[in-house]
Amino acid sequence: MKKATVVVLMAILVLSVFTLYGCPKSADVSSSPESQPQKTPEQLAAEATKAAEEKKAAEAAAAVKAAEEEKEKERAAKEASGLKPIHFDYDKSFVRNDAKDVMKANAAWLKANPKAKVRIEGNCDDRGTIEYNQALGQRRAASAKKYLTDLGISGKRISLISYGKEKPVCKESTEDCWQQNRRADLVAAE
């Protein structure tokens, strides 16, 4: 029996060796796929720069689009309100004779819409200093307000702001263009 036990133990030992030998070794694990080559720091930097430039371009395009939409909203609000701008002579702030009919029409619209408020925006052409044009724009807005109040519109419904030369409608250096910029815009306000 001793011999049979030795044979069984030998058989178990041989089977154990074959079993252990047949097991796979630990797999070599890589953190990157074999199909993609590693990128150099220069390539990574170039990709990051390109992505930043694309983001900046998209932001700039969005800003331009937003500014255009804002201008369009202002223009549409002016047209919808029935309020029209008036123009001024160079370095003057009195309401010209040709603007009086426009101001009467603006006053009629305000009388027909008693809950509406108006913001008068004084503007100038690009000649003169910033400070001077701010003051001139304020005088133009105040002159337009006085004209409306003389026509029976409550001063409580009117607010004033001067943009000086900051909001030109025309940017050429011609008399016709400067005339377009010497104005008081009347904008329906909340």
Q: Kindly list the domain boundaries of the chain, sorted by start residue.
A: 70-189
pLDDT at 76 over 70: no
Instruction: Please check the confidence at residue 91 and state whether its pLDDT lies above 60.
Output: yes
In this structure, what token pair is assigned to residue 159?
Answer: 């607010």
More confident residue, 43 or 186: 186
**What is the value of pTM for the model shown?**
0.58
| Terminal CA-CA length for the chain | 110
- C-alpha 35/C-alpha 122 separation (Å) is 66
Structure confidence at residue 65 (pLDDT)? 86
Please choose, from the candidates 147, 187, 182, the residue with its C-alpha nearest in 3D space to the C-alpha of residue 165: 182
Is residue 125 within 8 A of residue 181, CB to CB? The reply is yes
What's domain 70-189's architecture? Answer: 2-Layer Sandwich (3.30)
Q: Say if residues 85 and 123 touch (Cβ distance below 8 Å).
A: no
Considering the chain, what is the average pLDDT of its residues?
83
Cα of 111 vs its chain's centroid, Å: 35
Rounded mean pLDDT, 114-129:
92
pLDDT for residue 117 is more than 80: yes
